[in-house]
Amino acid sequence: MNPYAFPGFLLLPREIENVAASVWNVPVESLYQKTRQREVAEARYSVFHYRKTKMNEQEPDIAKTVPFDRTTVIHAIKAVEHLLEFDRPFQRKYRLFQDALANDLVSSYKVHR
């Protein structure tokens, strides 16, 4: 579900990070540590990809809110696109991630109405 389906209501980057951390079963604090551990990197990359594709944020704007530069953000987005094309286990996790965000958005919207 597109976050703009509910006019005037957006997910905050922190909420996206929390959902990614729970889907990949990693601590939220580890998302922005400089590690190449697969679960952490996939969760971090998914946050960047979601913010770029669903929230229409530009790479430099995403990079300003995280301790990585824009080239790392660009690499992450491309890596997720590659994984979504070829890696079935990642596809399933990313689908869970998107579904969880959609459910979070719907439930938050109902609470705030």
Could you tell me which of 5, 7, 19 has the C-alpha nearest to residue 101? 19
> What's this model's pTM, rounded to 2 decimal places?
0.85
CA dist 8 to 58, 105, 112, 113, Å?
A: 20, 12, 11, 11
Tokens describing residue 45: 């990359």
Category of 34 on φ-ψ map: left (φ > 0), alpha (ψ -120 to 50) or beta: beta
Is it the case that residue 79 has pLDDT exceeding 60?
A: yes
pLDDT confidence tier of residue 102, bands split at 50, 70 and 90: confident
Q: How does residue 8 score in pLDDT terms, banded at 50, 70 and 90? A: low
What's the pLDDT band for 9 if we cut at 50, 70, 90? low
Evaluated on CA atoms 54, 59, 64, 66, the torsion sign reads: positive
- Span between the terminal Cα atoms of the chain, in Å: 19
Domains of the chain: 14-112 (1.10.1750.10)
